Chain A
Amino acid sequence: MKLNIDGLLVYFPYDYIYPEQYSYMLELKRTLDAKGHGVLEMPSGTGKTISLLSLIVAYQKAFPLEVTKLIYCSRTVPEIEKVVEELRKLMEYYSKQTGESNNFLALALSSRKNLCIHPEVSALRFGKEVDGKCHTLTASYIRAQRHSDSSVPVCRFYEDFDAVGRQVPLPAGIYNLDDLKDFGRRKGWCPYYLARYSLLHANIVVYSYHYLLDPKIADLVSKELSKNSVVVFDEAHNIDNVCIDSMSVNISRRTLDRCQANVDTLQNTIQNIKETDANKLNMEYRRLVEGLKEANVARETDVYLANPVLPDEILQEAVPGSIRTAEHFVRFLKRFLEYLKSRLRVHHVVQESTPQFLKDIFDKVCIDRKPLRFCAERLQSLLRTLEIADIADFSAITLISNFATLVSTYSQGFTIIIEPFEDRTPTIANPVLHFSCMDPSIAIKPVFQRFQSVIITSGTLSPLDIYPKILDFRPVTMASFTMTLARTCLCPLIVGRGNDQVALSSKFETREDFAVIRNYGNLLLEMSAVVPDGIVAFFTSYVYMENIVASWYEQGILENIQRNKLIFIETPDAAETSMALEKYQEACENGRGAILLSVARGKVSEGIDFVHHFGRAVIMFGVPYVYTQSRILKARLEYLRDQFQVRENDFLTFDAMRHAAQCVGRVIRGKTDYGLMIFADKRYARADKRGKLPRWIQEHITDGSLNLTVDEAVQLSKHFLRQMAQPFRQEDQLGLSLLTLEQLESEEMLKKISQIAHQS
């Protein structure tokens, strides 16, 4: 249908529309008009992605000069591919309606592992191996060697791409990862570099967060994207953690040992080169004196490692004299390494700020701040000069030099914690230096500054106001949309007591309590008898799940559950869990029914949807608080309190509730779907917890379902499931939660729609 969104003609590739989609597009349009940032929360399964794409594409077509590019960031590879498929649908609709062939170029970008078509390289299992191997085939000096010695292996796909691929831009169209590979195979061009090259003139780019947020990658890939792009972060509820992760470094004793080996190798290589080809080193030295690093960086394949700090922090000056010669630099690195080793020899926990650390390093080994800042860059230059092909081996020394650059660049927002042992095993020495970023706004700041509109959206962003706070930006729109429903297809229940009136809670004091564990077991057992097909249960942590499973096993609860359903359990091993997941789906598919025991914050809770019969109920055992005893977390909480006036408890509850919401939200993926959401902890009943759940869940929690016993919950579930099992047709939704164009344009409906968006 063709929609009129505030004066903009929007093609929407469906015959019907949900009211909230219309409302969402209105808000989005306002954000784009204002050229500002927005925070939008809309329940999962209400067609967020297609609304976003429809509106932004329409906007791009209408104002091609104001919005030149859409950068759509999602979290997982399947998500990325889904977005591109939806886009394809939209574009097909466009060309059908307008009769013109599509002149848009949209493509997905992923790591080499997902795009490589080189038969040997793509057979490698791990992303790092693929990257390393690719580098050994495509680095500029390897290719230079090839000129003189044709036995040197190179990648023919890259060679072909380099020879002709750049002359003709990628023809307009929608390219998913597989399409890129197909195209690459047909032409004999490397899809990865083709995609990276095409980013510059593509109208729509879909890739993962890291390409924008991790400075090590962003600098390579996303550097030249135009300023008037719209950036969308989908599934952005964890965006702060992504930001923090990309700026944090951990150094263990093993890292240092490997680093030592790296330094030795470097030293030997330098010695060798000095004897054979001293000229090369001199050339490098001269280049560094002149600050001509840029000229050499131009070759895209060489820039394997970029600076770990954000672009605006990189010093635009020449490398200081003390580390200009290769030998000096290696000696410098050695000194730094020895210093770190001595720091790791502590017997008690040390926590200090970056200035303290820098002062200490200056006092002890006389290392200045400035050469440290150039460490990463200098190492890059050296590795390139020494023509070391397999950079994967040098990950340890790269890590250390990145750390050096980071620690000397940022004086705020970071903390250094040295722990001589793990808390759980105080007798075993395992010293780790955590250099941890506490301020997510550091990594995301350049994104907000550079692009005219940044949209942060997800199914669960409540409470909305905390995101602008912790990411430190000022949005022009903040809105939360509810799900209009013709039938209440979600049923949140808070189970606070067992049948024996024992309060259910995963809080620390009662966590080992036998009665609580037994009651949790009963809840699952009873539910397994009532709920059809799949049940997903989430625990607060892996250790907690292990303990509970063991004691359920001893009490014979699991055996009784097995009478009703098969049991699958998430393990720390991703491959094993994938297998369990697939079997779980198979068991749901063939009608046997299954239970998946899983962990909040785990991979399953973040990336897997349980649509329809794959999840008819989700049980959240306990409140998934993060492990609060961790020093890194404590430091971060302190920082949040001091810098952003976010109280510790508020943040912890917010964090726990967003994960809980993520977990329970996994079962509802649309209006035709239905599912139970059981919060098995009495603490959920409290207003401060409940209030932090997304509005679309919150509004269905009745006062009567705040402190149920297991039996009561089972009764309510039975009733709910029986109701939901009745046939549900399109006509039932029409006019309420599903609109035709005429219905949408009626005065009354527009008034109703304006209430869907909840501004905060």
Chain B
Amino acid sequence: MASLSEEVLLVLKKVRQRKQDGTLYLMAERIAWGPEGKDRFSVSHLYADIRCQKISPDGKSKIQLQLVLHTGDSTAFHFSNDSTALKDRDAAKELLQQLLPKFKKKANKELEEKNRMLQEDPVLFQLYKDLVVSQVISTDEFWANRLGDTNNSDSSLSNNKQEVGISGAFLADIRPQTDGCNGLRYNLTADIIESIFRTYPAVKQKYNENVPHELTEKEFWTRFFQSHYFHRDRINTGTQDIFSECGKQDEIGLKSMVVQGVKNPLVDLLSLEDKTLDEGYGVCTTMPSTSNRTVKDSSNSAIIKRFNHHSAMVLAAGSGKGETAGDPASETSCTDGNSRDSDFFQPPVKKAKLQEAIEYEDLKKEKKPKTIPLNLKKSDRYAHGPVPLQSQHYSTSQDIINSLNYIRHEMVNYKPNLTQVLCSTTASSAIAALSPGGVLMQAVTQQAINQMVPTDVQGELKHLYAAAGELLRHFWSCFPVNTPFLEEKVTKMKSNLERFQVSKLCPFQEKVQRQYLSANLTGHLEQMLQTAYSKFHVWQTRRMLRKT
């Protein structure tokens, strides 16, 4: 056996893999399978490589366990021991369930990150293929710069990444389904659990306290759904319920939210009324006292409270920090403990809100710089560009005569401003440059290139540009060369560039020539490389001089 020193946690016989009988070993760090009668493993996966496990549904004739690896490959094991197949499978599953998460955390984060980056960015992926796979530069070199970038921006990136809010109805999504025999089945996903935790921190706390030492995860959720905390409107079933505390905590949370008061004075119902009538005055001040409310009533009002709390929590969870950090205005009112003292801070908010409330935007002249609206007489002409004049738009002969007369009249009165004219040579060269075929008019022919060159060549050219750009970026980023590391790097990059030219650019040039494509497609690329080389030479000679 490969390494007997390894601790074997579980051995399962009669497990088939690829129609071959064998034995499954679960060891401390890997899972392995060897065909019957051979003393080496034909399948061996480190736990760290395993992304997840899947099992065949209950009731299926084949009892299987599938391992999916990070690479995307998967291996399936078929438990074929008739009597104990199910038990075997479950034993393997349970053990894996415990083992995998431990290794998951260890799994190479960086690798994942790289993988993710390559997947998210097709250009980068292409670059990777061009440079690394074809061994122009090494993987490390490729990533050295990249990851540096990402690491710097990483923290901000992950912060910038918008936090996903919580659906308001996540509890509705866990509709219980009857399983046919007097039981209910709740389907929980990781998302829902996360939602529950974010919305009800008290439950999360309970979870951390009780799982896994007191309860298994399953038991925990079973209790959660049985608890009156979930069915809050129902009457409390027992006091030993672990969630009864959560209910209380939520109540406290709600109260503290209420006590904190509101920042917007326009929605503060408490200070709305200016002079409330004293107790005893007024037509109907006798509110039904709370004592003689029926049980039903109070359960109804509990529902209402719960909805308010739930929505507030969902909102807070969605807006990130929510009320914990909040903006300075809320902090002041928190620290003061009473809202009246924060008087000094209130007016700006209040003023702004009041101004907002009395504003009639349409009565005012718009203050913003007046933009000139695009006045299109024929919007289709704007959309489709100029089209040949329709015959009915031809001018009448009278018009032509008129305009001719007009031009003649203009010409008669024309007086050249001789101090500001060009000399005749410059003028003629300018005319030549602007005539078709001239220097400045070449763009016209250039445009045709994307029709002349087949698309595959175009694509290749693009990739070459990207790769060259990347290499050149590396190269130029070394300047000014002021550390030995950079010196080393710049020489390496130069050789990389040369290698690139030989292994990538030259074949492409040949290919282009083979296809008799006249235009010098790679000219610019070469030019860029030459610039880099000359820069390198200048640097090198200067260094030599300094050394001598």
Contact = CB atoms under 8 A, between A and B. Distances in A.
Contact of B169 (A82, A252, A562, A582): A562
Nearest to A110: B274
B202 to A, nearest CB: 19
Interface in B277-293: 277-289, 292
Interface in B254-283: 254, 257-283
Contacts of B493: none
Interface string A528-539: 000000000000
B171 A114 contact: no
A606 B362 CA distance: 26
A47 B360 contact: yes
Contacts of B274: 75-77, 80, 110-111, 114, 207-208, 210
Contact of B314 (A82, A125, A566): A566
B318 interface: yes
Contacts of A47: 360, 363
Of B171, B274, B347, most A-chain CB atoms within 10 Å: B274
A607 B272 contact: yes
Interface residues of A, number: 109
B258 A575 contact: yes
B272 A592 contact: no
B358 A590 contact: no
B168 interface: yes
Contact of B292 (A123, A425, A561, A587): A425
B363 A214 contact: no
B303 interface: yes
Q: How large is the interface on B (under 10, 10 to 19, 20 to 34, 35 or more residues)?
A: 35 or more
A581 interface: yes
A66 interface: no
A590 B362 contact: no
A670 interface: yes
Contact of B278 (A128, A547, A561): A128
A134 to B, nearest CB: 14
A76 B167 CA distance: 36
A672 B361 contact: yes
A226 B299 CA distance: 55
Given A127-B276, A395-B280, A546-B300, A567 B311 contact: yes
Contacts of B363: 14-18, 47, 738
Interface stretch (A228-236, A550-558, A701-709): A550-558
Contacts of B415: none
A123 B354 contact: no
B522 interface: no
Interface string A690-716: 000000000000000000000000000
B304 interface: yes
Given A425-B292, A559-B169, A562-B168, A249 B281 contact: yes
B264 A15 contact: no
B458 interface: no
Given A82-B358, A249-B281, A578 B315 contact: no
A313 interface: no
Interface in A11-59: 14-18, 47, 49-50
A580 B308 contact: yes
A424 interface: yes
Contacts of A6: none
Contacts of B144: none
A670 B360 contact: yes
A436 B347 CA distance: 40
Contacts of B261: 575, 578-579
Of A76, A430, A592, A604, most B-chain CB atoms within 10 Å: A592
Contacts of A452: none
B365 A571 contact: no
B548 interface: no
Interface string A571-587: 11111111111110111
B272 A579 contact: no
A432 interface: yes
Interface in A386-404: 395-396, 399
B113 to A, nearest CB: 30
Contacts of B315: 566, 583, 586-587, 590, 592
Interface string A112-153: 011000000011110110000000000000000000000000
B395 to A, nearest CB: 34
Interface string A620-632: 0000000000101
A666 interface: no
B153 to A, nearest CB: 26
B350 interface: yes
Interface in B310-366: 311-312, 314-315, 318-319, 338, 340-341, 343, 347, 350-351, 354-355, 357-358, 360-366
B163 interface: no
A250 B354 CA distance: 37
B279 A395 contact: yes
B233 interface: yes
B4 interface: no
Interface in B229-266: 233, 254, 257-266
A217 B275 contact: yes
A631 B104 CA distance: 73
B271 A77 contact: yes
B281 A245 contact: yes
B308 A632 contact: no
A565 B165 CA distance: 13
B275 A78 contact: no
B305 interface: yes
Contacts of B264: 582, 585
A547 B270 CA distance: 26
Given A566-B314, A670-B360, A582 B279 contact: no
Nearest to B171: A559
Interface string B44-72: 00000000000000000000000000000
Nearest to B365: A15
A65 interface: no
A563 B169 contact: yes
A174 interface: no
B280 A250 contact: yes
Of B284, B300, B308, B312, most A-chain CB atoms within 10 Å: B308
Contact of A590 (B278, B319, B364): B319
A360 interface: no
Nearest to A248: B283
Contacts of B169: 559-563
A716 B119 CA distance: 46
Given A210-B274, A211-B275, A568-B311, A549 B303 contact: yes
Contact of A85 (B233, B270, B304, B354): B354
A300 interface: no
B311 A77 contact: no
Contacts of A124: 340
Of A422, A566, A581, most B-chain CB atoms within 10 Å: A566
A510 B78 CA distance: 63
Interface string A514-534: 000000000000000000000
A563 B168 contact: yes
A251 B280 contact: yes
A214 B277 CA distance: 9
A340 B136 CA distance: 104
A86 interface: yes
A609 B350 CA distance: 16
A286 interface: no
21 contacts: A15-B365, A85-B354, A110-B274, A122-B343, A125-B340, A217-B275, A244-B283, A245-B281, A425-B288, A546-B300, A559-B171, A559-B172, A560-B169, A565-B168, A566-B315, A569-B307, A575-B259, A579-B257, A579-B260, A630-B284, A672-B362
Given A16-B362, A128-B278, A580-B311, 6 more contacts: A78-B266, A547-B300, A549-B307, A566-B315, A581-B269, A608-B269
Interface of B: 165, 167-169, 171-172, 233, 254, 257-289, 292, 296-297, 299-301, 303-305, 307-308, 311-312, 314-315, 318-319, 338, 340-341, 343, 347, 350-351, 354-355, 357-358, 360-366
